[in-house]
Structure 1
Amino acid sequence: MKAANFAKSDAPGRKLFVGPRLRRLREQLGWNQSQLAARLELSLSYISQIETNQRPVTAGVLLKLAEVFGGDVAQFSEEQDKRLLTELDAALNDRTLGHDPPHAAQLARLVEQAPELAEAYVALYQRHQRLQDEHAQLIDRFYGEQGQDLGTGQPPAWTAPLPHEEVRDFFNRRNNYIDGLDRLAEALAQDLVLQPAERAASLREALLQRCGVTVEPLTDPGDAGLLRHYDARRRRLSLPSHLTDAQQAFQMATQYALLAAADAFAAEVREAGFSDDATRALARQGLAHYFAGAVLLPYGAFLDAARGCRYDVELLQQRFHVSFETICHRLSTLQRNGARGVPFYFVRVDQAGNISKRQSATSFHFARHGGACPLWNVHEAFAQPGRILTQIAEMPDGSRFFGIARTIERHGSGGFRAQRKLFAIGLGCDLAHARELVYADGLDFGRSAQAVLIGPGCRVCPREHCVQRAFPPAGKLLVADSDRESLVSYRFSPG
């Protein structure tokens, strides 16, 4: 990625200041400003001015920085800081914490100058929320709705994040991209010369020759709901016969990863420092699924195809013979240094609004509690099944995103009585990248363009006049007026 292109897409119309990020990188390597200036062949005063954000960086300096710090210029992107700032702002504006939130400028300085402290505070706040939710659920369970006013009982002891939350946060911290595993998967796909619609046979042979594992069809009627069953004692992998070639290949690549890449998985899990065995096991499964997806959709070939068709999901489906969800999921992981795709958020939502998958390489803020915004087009998709819907959405902080949404359906074997699962898939990016998507053709993206005003979820959304609000935001003082009534269900003090 060229520095000029990066600066344009990352912050259109704005100068790029990288002072705090540059200082953190320098200090991590134990260099002083003089040593950095010598390596960049710049003056000491110029380095000092950059680090204190008195001067923006030029395209030429960006390229030098990327060369000196061993990455590409995207490591100086503001996306990570923006996402942390959004989460910190939501946490500090929760009035149940009993203090006045700092000014926006103070929050920005904290994220820039002490990101570790900001991350620690957000983590503590998330644990606080989990405790509050657990306490409310326990009171509700034992006392019913009246228990909300009893104030009796002790709150439960502190608990660690749920395993799926901890694993999800691990992937989000890595921008949904695990470089070592992704490159191993790409090398395997190239080594086996995998071709769409013809992957299963090659992976079956690789399992036999490299791992001593045979692949057989599932025959036990009691295993009707299984997608994969590995018998370690017999070195036998059983798969349902109704799976497509791509589905079989995915399950075989998953098992191959668990056996052949066990050391790489162990290193990732150990470095992440997960809290318990259940979380570590779930992380290994998530890493194996990541590996399998990267085998079916090798990074270089898939990125070239995505750019070539301007991220047309259905054309990519036809090219690689995989599902709509698989394509969208892979698009959200294209964050390799030096070869980045459009940074996407990706979600999978059921009809009740539960988010079962979510990951983001953008600053788009997902609510962790209380459900997602009902004005988000991912919910509208259920009313128009099979259609791709587009939306320009604006968050409360003014940031704008372009997104698509569509329903998907899954079903097992068994004919008419087979269980079916219906989800909506959401895929989106910052508005600055929208023109790179085929779905944006013909749309107006100027500041006057009509945008749907959404939020991260009612619990933390500050919008006062939203008619779709399900309940007031946490910690806000309700304004009761029995003489007035409107479409807005809850009125509250904005302060």
Structure 2
Amino acid sequence: MAMANQKLFIGPRIRRLRREQGLSQTDMAKSLSISPSYLNHLERNQRPVTASLLLKLAELYEIDVRSFAAEGAARTGPEALAEIFSDSLLRDLGVPRYELVELAHNAPAVADGIARLYTAVKEAGRGAPVDGDGDVRSLVTPENWVRDYIQAHRNHYPALERSAETLGGALSDPLSMAEPMRRRLKDAWGIDARVVPQSQLGNSSQLYDAERRLFLMSSQLRSENRTFALAYQLALVEFASVIDAMVAEAAPPDEGIRQLLHMSLANYAAGAIMMPYGRFLASAEEHRYSIDRLCGDYGANVEQVAHRLTTLSRPGARGVPFFMLRVDPAGNISKRYAGEKFPFSRFGGTCPRWNMHTAFQFAGQVVPQIIETPDAHRYFTVSRTIERPIKTGLSASLLAIGLGCDIRHAHKLSCADSFDLENAPVTPVGPACAICPRIDCAQRATAPAGRMLAVDRQRKTISPYPFVAG
């Protein structure tokens, strides 16, 4: 195990697990065959967790050892905090990195609170209004609120997975799941699904008319997206109580965010219905995570499969932990998911050295790359263009996705077979320019926060903003 050679301090995570289980320190200590005082020391990070105790925690409370013990398990990590404290509002404080690391790991809820407040301040600067009840959470944009919720759960929802696996297995069809799902909607719920001209739907691509019990899909939806639309509508009715309970527990600050979260969870469930967990994981491992072959097996498109690959975090049955981004030609990030640690900026865009935008120049082709972050971690990534769900006939309908994983998993991927993983070129990348420590970067867009510039009017450097190291 990775933790065998280092002391592991995960007290706040143990405390959170205990509270989630509704246990006192005495009760948990008894179940682990340790003393309450020793558990107290563990929770306060005054003692490291041993490998044997970690395995006992995993056995008793059905947690995944790797995700529970991973450094990246903190919801708002040191990198995100460094990005926040590099802002002009805070940079004069000169908070050292070791304090940010301690905060992220010892007080994860406080780190989350700082991230939420920072996001709210940024949105307030754009003129976003506070709601009528004075709830400052309304300053956080809906997509950021939902994105944080998803990441806090590592993009994996056991209750939805179990329900979707049962339903998806029952509806499985080697030709297409679309027809079994259409029949299920009709027979079990009295909902008639139809494909209609786009003109009948206005600016909608799909619409449920509850009064007439009609589910309408645009004729301009691509075939895989029609299948997904049926799965989405099925998830809304089949898993209504499960999703309602999850949304209620999440307590979104306003109705708009509530609806967006509900939609996101139904989207998740739709993917899980189309690609039931156990069977999909087995297929992914058999095909060595070939996206094209998985698309063929499940009648899904590239984006649907890529998204599903980021969700394979079931304890005892984990897949390769992927991260995924989706961007448009202007660089706007519309999706950001991670099954484990995510190596890029939480609040900014992507590093220009990452080949995501190169994919637009090679539409339909896979663009592989090995990248290295400033902390010397390497990742194998692939980027490729995808088409929007609905046909528009415009070149702007293209989007690009980037999918990647830690280099140690790359040998499991068929798309890495052509790479000499030990000797292939490696591209140094960084987080947002304001916190990137790389000095000689010709793509640097902004001066680094909290660093003394080393500009000399008699000499121009590769980087437009050279700075003093250290």
Common topology (TM > 0.5): yes
- The reply on whether 1:162 has 2:141 as its aligned counterpart is yes
Post-superposition offset of 1:95: 4.7
Structure 1 distance, partners of 2:184, 2:120, is 44
TM-score normalised by structure 2 residue count: 0.87
SS in 2 for 1:377: coil
Post-superposition offset of 1:419: 6.9
- The one-letter code sitting in structure 1 at the alignment partner of 2:82 is D
Aligned to 1:424: 400
Structure 2 distance, partners of 1:185, 1:78, is 30
Give the direction of change, closer, same or farther, for the CA distance of 1:120–1:221 in structure 2 (3 Å limit).
closer
- The one-letter code sitting in structure 2 at the alignment partner of 1:63 is L
Q: 5+ residue gaps in structure 1?
A: 1-6, 138-156
1:290-329: CA deviation from partner (whole Å, max 9, x where unpaired): 1111111111110111112221111211221211111101
Structure 2 distance, partners of 1:46, 1:411, is 55
Post-superposition offset of 1:36: 4.5
- The reply on whether 1:381 has 2:374 as its aligned counterpart is no
Confirm or deny: 8 A CA contact 1:200 1:245 kept in the other structure: no
Structure 2 distance, partners of 1:449, 1:15, is 30
Confirm or deny: 8 A CA contact 2:205 2:390 kept in the other structure: no
Aligned to 1:71: 63
Q: What are the residue-to-residue correspondences of 1:456-495 with 2, within 5 Å?
A: 456-474=431-449, 478-492=453-467
Structure 2 distance, partners of 1:482, 1:70, is 61
- The one-letter code sitting in structure 2 at the alignment partner of 1:482 is R
Structure 1 distance, partners of 2:357, 2:317, is 32
Determine which of 100, 107, 120 is the counterpart of 2:100: 107
Structure 1 distance, partners of 2:355, 2:385, is 11
1:191-215: CA deviation from partner (whole Å, max 9, x where unpaired): 22x2254211111111111211112
SS in 2 for 1:393: strand
Post-superposition offset of 1:484: 1.8
Q: Give the length in aligned residue pairs.
A: 460
Aligned to 2:131: none
Give the direction of change, closer, same or farther, for the CA distance of 1:271–1:35 in structure 2 (3 Å limit).
closer
Structure 2 distance, partners of 1:73, 1:381, is 36
Aligned to 2:152: 173
SS in 2 for 1:374: coil
Aligned to 1:452: 427
1:169-210: CA deviation from partner (whole Å, max 9, x where unpaired): 111111111221222221111222x22542111111111112
Determine which of 370, 385, 389 is the counterpart of 1:407: 385
Give the direction of change, closer, same or farther, for the CA distance of 1:55–1:83 in structure 2 (3 Å limit).
same
Give the direction of change, closer, same or farther, for the CA distance of 1:80–1:342 in structure 2 (3 Å limit).
same
Confirm or deny: 8 A CA contact 1:250 1:293 kept in the other structure: yes
Q: Structure 1 vs Structure 2: percent identity of aligned residues? A: 36
Confirm or deny: 8 A CA contact 2:288 2:413 kept in the other structure: yes
Aligned to 2:229: 251
Aligned to 1:339: 317
Aligned to 1:188: 167
Confirm or deny: 8 A CA contact 2:80 2:346 kept in the other structure: no
- The reply on whether 1:88 has 2:88 as its aligned counterpart is no
Give the direction of change, closer, same or farther, for the CA distance of 1:93–1:444 in structure 2 (3 Å limit).
farther
Aligned to 1:17: 8
SS in 2 for 1:99: helix
Structure 1 distance, partners of 2:201, 2:41, is 65
Confirm or deny: 8 A CA contact 2:83 2:434 kept in the other structure: no
Q: Which moved more, 1:480-489 or 1:14-23?
A: 14-23
Structure 1 distance, partners of 2:36, 2:149, is 38
Q: CA RMSD in A?
A: 3.1
Q: Which moved more, 1:120-129 or 1:325-334?
A: 120-129
- The one-letter code sitting in structure 1 at the alignment partner of 2:164 is A
Structure 2 distance, partners of 1:249, 1:220, is 17
SS in 2 for 1:215: strand
TM-score normalised by structure 1 residue count: 0.83
Q: Which moved more, 1:327-336 or 1:163-172?
A: 163-172
Structure 1 distance, partners of 2:419, 2:75, is 26
- The one-letter code sitting in structure 1 at the alignment partner of 2:440 is H
Give the direction of change, closer, same or farther, for the CA distance of 1:339–1:24 in structure 2 (3 Å limit).
same
